[in-house]
Chain A
């Protein structure tokens, strides 16, 4: 029973990280129908930013997590830059598939650029402790502080994001652009800057996810985002791509599948199960758990 609860907690923690990354995928997909393969690498960008900013924060006498603010800014800028330099020109000229190939190229570019930068390099860097060690014991189950903070912080971020998309003017503009770009333009919404805003927020979330990931696994390397990003994307598809609550649900499901497979079957088969779940769900419900099936207009 203890193992069960411990596995559940690990799954929820992992799931909330996936959910945060999945939100970035789902927001961008919702608005420009593009799988932003580079999104996973934004996590890596956030991770390396924190490697450099955590010592600065500590030297100034601030808590280590303050460094995440710098990471959010850097990630947002990288996200906006990617959209401006690569995606927007290709979107204007090419098809869906050329945009997708550009996204893959962008992901390769970021990963390899990081390796080529001398102060980063191909070798992993170890991060310092971000949150206080230790935890709360309930019976024989331990809740680490890191876990608690991860769960609470991701819940808060998701609620803020939900409120933002539902209640504010900019959030409404975002939903409007993802429904119908032409109509949004007629309503006086600046579509291009709304897309940029979406990239900014989505990439900023990747930085928060990077913080939580590093709190748990204090190691940063250039390809850290590729598998993490892929699983987060799987979460987004699983929940129904383009739907904000769907991404959260999908993230939690994938996190739980991964932690339970690791505990009860085999750690090396965890990824296999994650993708099997995706394939099974897509066969039964092609639009994802919370998605609605929309046919192409003829």
Chain B
């Protein structure tokens, strides 16, 4: 009985994803050239895609394994630069001509995989020494590692702080290699969605297997985990690398979305939406230990950020209030503190959304709420 329920869940998810995907493709081919669809919606989806993968990948380490990593954007930077450089090299080697060349699709996929692998391999350099230590040190070492990575990329002759330039300063991603313009973004939106869906699915499979059980055990009690026969060091390093792999993949998607790369976008904190702290905020809001929560939080945070920057209502607010929104990080900091104070495991905690359980779960939650209310009323009545 249980197995059939699992199978039904897989079937339902697959069907819904394929339907949505096809519907979106049809919509894209019909409306692809229209203004706001092409200039606002599609780029937003691209951004959401890499934010979702990024947040989910950090949740593996932060939420499921219970280790605070503060250099996650460093791995993303590695992925972005690897993918960009690889695609540029392929372009120089004349392996493909322009983005409509079928060979380009091959280059695209290999760039993404190479980005993930490079990030995973480099994560071992920091993971193997750092994960032997207790949690607090990992935070500091990963934070330092994130800085070192950016420092090193800045000092590489073919990368650099002022954007990626190979040989001539003008070789931006936009003209060569990755770096999609608005037309190419529409053309390749299937690619972004496909990579995101596959990445998220792989992370789900990881969590719902012996690996997920092992790292959750490590989070709950490391000594008991090793006394249950779990090689904690191996699982920690492996999960760290697995998480870095997907951060690298997110980096590759980022490289596709942007015309130029600059290391300052991957720093620990900066004014923009992309930094290691912001990723932590997404994971905490979505719930430490809920992958679906991370995905939803990534979209919500993107929307909030977008609204703060572009929304009409912000400028319509009285000056004293709209002033606050000039510093979105201030708002996020307060939100983070409040959420941690009242829901230490994040808004959704470890609850996972699923299509087949959503309605029964909501019904159950409402019922519990109602009984709690009734009990309260009864208690008041008695008093």
Which residues of A line the B interface, CB within 8 A? Answer: 33, 35, 86, 89-90, 93-98, 100-102, 104-106, 108-109, 111-113, 115-116, 223, 226, 230, 233-234, 237, 266, 268-269, 271-272, 274-276, 278-279, 282-283, 286, 296, 298
Contacts and interface: CB of A to CB of B under 8 A. Distances in A.
B337 A109 contact: yes
A275 B151 CA distance: 11
Contact of B151 (A33, A112, A272): A272
Interface string B283-307: 0100000000000000000000000
Interface stretch (B138-146, B183-191, B196-204, B351-359): B138-146
B155 to A, nearest CB: 6
Contacts of A100: 68, 135-136, 139
Interface of B: 62, 66, 68, 70, 126, 129-130, 132-133, 135-137, 139-141, 143-145, 147-148, 151-152, 154-155, 223, 268-269, 277, 280, 284, 323-324, 326-327, 329-330, 332-334, 336-337, 340-341, 344
Given A90-B340, A230-B140, 17 more contacts: A86-B337, A98-B344, A101-B280, A101-B284, A104-B277, A105-B334, A105-B340, A106-B333, A108-B333, A112-B333, A115-B327, A116-B323, A230-B144, A234-B144, A279-B126, A282-B137, A286-B133
Contact of A226 (B144, B154, B269): B269
Contact of B341 (A33, A89, A111, A230): A89
Nearest to A288: B137
Contacts of B141: 275, 278-279, 282
Nearest to A106: B337
Contacts of A275: 141, 144-145, 147-148
A234 B140 contact: yes
Contacts of A230: 140, 143-144
B330 A116 contact: yes
Contact of B280 (A35, A104, A269, A271): A104
Contact of A272 (B152, B280, B329, B341): B152
Contact of A286 (B132, B223, B340): B132
A171 B135 CA distance: 28
21 contacts: A90-B341, A96-B136, A97-B62, A97-B135, A100-B68, A100-B139, A101-B340, A104-B277, A104-B280, A105-B340, A108-B277, A112-B333, A116-B326, A234-B140, A234-B144, A237-B137, A275-B144, A279-B126, A279-B129, A279-B130, A283-B132
B336 A105 contact: yes
A213 B66 CA distance: 37
Contacts of B277: 104, 108
A108 B344 contact: no
Contacts of B152: 272
A278 B140 contact: yes
B330 A112 contact: yes
A269 B155 CA distance: 8
A233 B268 CA distance: 16
| Ranked 10 nearest A-B pairs via Cβ | A275-B144, A112-B330, A109-B333, A94-B344, A105-B336, A108-B333, A98-B344, A283-B129, A112-B329, A112-B327
A111 B154 CA distance: 25
A35 B324 contact: no
A114 to B, nearest CB: 10
A192 B340 CA distance: 21
A286 B135 CA distance: 12
Contacts of B323: 116
B144 A109 contact: no
B333 A93 contact: no
B136 A98 contact: no
Contacts of B129: 279, 282-283
Nearest to B268: A226
Given A90-B344, A275-B145, A275-B148, A116 B324 contact: yes
Of listed A116, A234, A266, residue having the most chain B CB within 10 A:
A116
Contacts of A276: 148
Contacts of B70: 104
A234 B145 CA distance: 12
